[in-house]
Chains A and B, each alone.
Chain A
Amino acid sequence: MGRLNNKIAIVTGAGQGIGRAIVQTLASEGATVVAVDLNLSAVEETLQGFPQSGMALACNVGNSAEVASVVSKVEAEYGRVDVLVNNAGIGQAPNDGSDLYMQRLGARAEAFAKGETPTVFADHTIDMQDDGWLAVMNVNINGTFYFCRDVLKLMSRLNQTGSIINISSTSALNGEGGAHYCASKAAILGLTKALAQEVGARGIRVNAVAPGPTDTPAMASISEEWRQQIAQAVLLNRLASPREIASAVAFLASDESSYITGHTLCANGGMHLL
């Protein structure tokens, strides 16, 4: 189709799942994509089959020096960046209390199965240590900020237009998920709106996409029963394919959304309505 011909794009968290689908969709629309991930061999695999498109770089987005280095490498190689997709994110981290939370969920399920009233609540936050909280915040919101800042610096210096898409989550809207995850994904929405106001006048657009449950490798390990439950929480009664999230991102990256900025586009099968 070529809606993104001649555009230079950076996609983070590009080694698997939604990030990989975003890279491949942008590339098939004609963009040159720099695919960034903690895991270099995973992003190299993402770019296989798209030989003329971009390069793979390793980067911990939560480290501002590594982010700065990626952006300067991209500038050195291509001279500019037109599209930035901040997709890198984590849902849990060591010492965030997830293990105890899962144990409590298990105990509750056992009690329900026996027809008994559970004796424990589904607490999670009471066991969340400082480092567990900060690890999730660091990747999800600091990483998004570092990349936005450094790419805006470049766009601003070159006096160019562009489009930034931050991947949030329906969890930011409905609070389904760990407190650290929901808070970090909601912070992305505030960042998105503030940047949209700040840079809109010079034709740089900043939007967010809020995916719902998506059929990624991370979801492959869950039971069929759990999967059914998740699908039922979505109006369309199914999980998204990563491609469906990627096509929403591609729309916001392209000139077809030229008058859309500061918005959070729900690509979640209507989950935000329930």
Chain B
Amino acid sequence: MTSLKDKVALVTGGGTGIGAATALRLAEEGAKVAVCGRRIGPLESIASQIENKGGQALAIVCDIADESQVDMTISAVASQFGGLDILVNNATLLEAGLIDGHTTESWHKNFSVTVDGTLFMMRAAYPHLAKSKGSVVNVSSIVGSQGTPYMTGYAAAKGAVNAMTRNAAIEWANAGVRCNAVVPGAIMTDPTKAILPDERAQAYMESLIPMRRIGDPEEVANAIVFLASPLASYITGVLLPVDGGRATELSMGAVSME
């Protein structure tokens, strides 16, 4: 499969979880892949996995909440790989909190990474994407569109990502730049494992999902690669759930009765 041969991709938060799975899938499809994140160790590990399979990769340390670091990251990718075709905004941060107890600091932290970071990346990437007629895939979350108590800051930030996705699709359509988002439900990553400490918690979560299982990062990566690829050339402004059908279920009603 060479549908992304010689395309240049940047994945934020590319060292772990969904970001790492996406970086590996993009490389499998022939793309040159840059990964950025805060810790060099996991990034270098993904980059060397890609290189060991004969691909080209770049690992860049970047705190996306800092716009000067974002600008330098985009310039570095574009100059090293000769442009930019695909931007995957996957990096995020979750600071939990009830509305009446959310500290101002943790509220802002949710926004500085997920909202500011995504905006900084999209803004800096746009001139390159306009040149390449490229595309953006943002990684949202089911919590951005459905009720999820205890994490209002994170949910609001993901709701903002949905709005940014729709608006970029409209603003950039004339330039031939597409912008979509995937909307993962429960995906088996380290943060998910942390909130599902035992089998009982996991079984309860599964009972809420029509497909009765928690997804794998690779399943989200496949959806991201599809949206980024020319196979999705007529798809823009779409929020694609990758959630085992969770978004079709408004309450616990039907599935929990079994």
Binding site for B on A (CB under 8 A): 1, 193, 196-197, 200-201, 203, 205, 212, 235-237, 240-241, 244-245, 247-248, 250-251, 256-263, 265-270, 272-274
Q: Please list the residues of chain B having a beta carbon within 8 angstroms of any beta carbon in chain A.
A: 1, 3, 166, 169-170, 173-174, 176, 178, 185, 209-212, 215-216, 219-220, 222-223, 225-226, 231-238, 240-245, 247-249, 254-255, 258
With contacts A235-B169, A265-B240, A270-B169 taken as known, whether A197 is within 8 angstroms of B245 at the C-beta atoms is yes
- The answer on a CB contact under 8 Å between B210 and A251 is no
Q: Which of A196, A205, A262, A265 contacts B235 (CB 8 A)?
A: A265
Contacts A201-B212, A265-B238 known; A260 to B248 CB distance under 8 Å?
A: no
Contact A260 B241, beta carbon cutoff 8 Å:
yes
CB distance from B202 to the nearest CB of A (A): 16
The reply to whether A267 and B170 contact each other, CB–CB distance below 8 Å, is no
Flag if A257 contacts B231 (CB, 8 Å): no
Is there an interface contact between B226 and A196, defined as CB atoms closer than 8 Å? no
Residues on A with C-beta less than 8 A from B245 are: 196-197, 200, 205, 261-262
A-B contacts counted at CB < 8 A amount to: 120
Cross-chain contact B226 with A197 (CB below 8 angstroms): no
Give the chain A neighbours of B237 by CB distance below 8 A.
235, 266, 270, 272-273
Neighbouring B residues of A241 by C-beta, 8 Å: 234
B235 near A197 (CB under 8 angstroms)?
A: no
Q: How far is the CA of A236 from the CA of B241 in the complex (A)?
A: 22
Chain B residues near A269 (CB, 8 Å)? 173, 234-236
Q: B236 contacts A235, CB within 8 Å? A: yes
CB-CB nearest in chain A for B206: A201
Q: Are B222 and A267 in contact (CB under 8 A)?
A: no
Q: Are A256 and B210 in contact (CB under 8 A)?
A: no
Cβ A262 vs Cβ B242 within 8 A: no
CB distance from B75 to the nearest CB of A (A): 29
